[in-house]
């Protein structure tokens, strides 16, 4: 089985483009690949799913123990002919940017996988070799197994590849040429989601066709062929409660592992659209409002008066509810769109959603509960992640969030039937799914 981590010396090297090209080419070659994303990013896995038509999973050593990460990888890689783990940021960049903890190198070391380094040779030639030798010497073992030159012409590849191999000892397995016709657009939270990019499948075909021609596949196979991971058995129990999960263009940031953890604890997931549906799914015991881009759809969300009223009534009547980031904004009084105009939302919580103009409280943090609630016991501490340009005039005070650098702030609303706040929770390997399902079952049992 082909198994590798796709990494880069720095952000902006084109890892997502290279991952899409590689995954699509492997698919065309009959390898039946699967994909993973290092770190907390939601958007890149959406691209993996668009390329493959199968689920992509996050692997994060800040959110999870090494045992949980290894178990998730083995479970979802088993049975495939190839597994590609797309990295994030620079290869050694971990917590706070000053540690290798939770870095791509840390993940490769934990999984024991070889690394293909994506290098964009812009503005340097021999100096690239010096940089790569630094990467090789920085940690032991370094796990670097090969180089893929990205955004590189054939002539430049022919010039650089022999030199890099001589100076670094790393094989260069090929290149991807400049492909402006396959460019993928970005916006304030990163790349646009796959469903919004015009003619995405044509762009993917261009990337795949190029990779088929410019990668040395026999060499690639020799470098990255590894024994198959042992499958981890998982049997879903019979569903005992239905949980409504928002899923549309406005609410699209969900970790596949979180949804799976809910199902493993007896939940039947019922997807609905706050943009288009007039009512919540029937016979539900819980509600999950994940993050996404509600600020881009504030007009449509406000216009769906029936859904806003249904959500408000359900939450206020005690329906167990989790609302993260964009879902938290939706439960507020109003929400500004990108132009600064405010529109009414569900009106459950006191805050108004406002444009921040920049990333607000960005990055990993530890969330500590100040009191008992549906998901937390007082004093529970959980790793979380924030990534948003919008803010609220009332962020809540039921938790303390703290960064590794010592910065802390109050946030979140929580009680016996609610968690709502900007921090994104990662549920796999935690007590959260069990506690949420238990709360939903209790609600169904006690509901008159």
Residue of 325, 411, 434, 441 marked catalytic: 325
All residues at 6 or more sequence positions from 207 whose CB lies less than 8 Å from its CB, including other chains: 17, 20, 21, 24, 25, 176, 179, 182
**Which pair of structure tokens corresponds to residue 106?**
């840390």
User: Is 325 an annotated catalytic residue?
Assistant: yes
**What does the H/E/C string look like for 218-286?**
HHHHHHHECCCCCCCCCCCCCCCEEEEEECCCCCCECCHHHHHHHHHCCEEEEEECCCCCCCCCCCCCE
> Using CB atoms within 10 A of its CB, is residue 154 exposed (0-12), middle (13-18) or buried (19+)?
exposed
**Which pair of structure tokens corresponds to residue 191?**
């790349």
Q: What positions carry a catalytic annotation?
A: 325
């Amino acid at each position: 089985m082909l198994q590798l981590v796709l990494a880069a010396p720095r952000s902006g090297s084109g890892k997502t483009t290279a991952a899409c090209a590689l995954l699509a080419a492997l698919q065309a070659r009959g390898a039946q690949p699967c994909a993973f994303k290092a770190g907390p990013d939601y958007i890149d896995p959406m691209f993996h799913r668009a390329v493959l038509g199968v689920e992509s999973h996050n692997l994060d050593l800040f959110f999870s123990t090494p045992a949980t990460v290894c178990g998730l990888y083995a479970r979802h890689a088993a049975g495939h002919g190839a597994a590609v783990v797309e990295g994030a940021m620079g290869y050694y960049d971990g917590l706070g940017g000053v540690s290798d903890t939770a870095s791509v190198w840390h993940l490769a070391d934990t999984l024991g996988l070889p690394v293909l380094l994506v290098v964009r040779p812009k503005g340097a030639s021999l100096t690239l070799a010096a940089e790569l030798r630094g990467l090789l010497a920085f940690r032991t073992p370094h796990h670097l197994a090969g180089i893929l030159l990205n955004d590189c012409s054939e002539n430049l590849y022919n010039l650089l590849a022999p030199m890099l191999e001589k100076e670094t000892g790393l094989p260069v397995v090929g290149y991807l040429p400049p492909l402006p016709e396959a460019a993928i657009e970005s916006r304030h939270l990163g790349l646009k989601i796959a469903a919004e990019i015009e003619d995405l499948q044509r762009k993917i075909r261009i990337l795949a066709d190029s990779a088929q021609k410019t990668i040395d596949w026999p060499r690639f196979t020799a470098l990255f062929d590894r024994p198959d991971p042992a499958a981890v058995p998982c049997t879903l129990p019979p569903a005992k409660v239905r949980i409504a999960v928002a899923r549309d263009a406005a609410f699209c940031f969900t970790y596949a592992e979180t949804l799976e953890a809910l199902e493993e604890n007896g939940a039947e997931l019922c997807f609905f659209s706050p943009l288009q549906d007039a009512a919540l799914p029937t016979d539900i015991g819980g509600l999950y409002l994940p993050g996404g881009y509600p600020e881009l759809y504030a007009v449509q969300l406000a216009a769906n008066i029936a859904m806003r009223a249904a959500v408000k009534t359900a939450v206020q009547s005690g329906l167990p509810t989790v609302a993260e980031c964009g879902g938290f904004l939706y439960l507020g009084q109003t929400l500004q769109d990108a132009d600064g105009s405010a529109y009414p939302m569900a009106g459950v919580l006191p805050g108004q959603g406002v444009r921040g103009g920049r990333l607000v409280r960005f990055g990993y943090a530890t969330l500590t509960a100040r009191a008992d609630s549906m998901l937390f016991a007082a004093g529970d501490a959980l790793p979380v992640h924030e990534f948003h340009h919008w803010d609220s005039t009332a962020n809540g005070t039921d938790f303390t969030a703290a960064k590794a650098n010592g910065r802390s702030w109050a946030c979140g609303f929580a009680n016996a039937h609610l968690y709502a706040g900007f921090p994104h929770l990662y549920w796999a390997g935690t007590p959260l799914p069990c506690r949420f399902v238990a709360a939903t079952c209790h609600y169904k049992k006690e509901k008159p």
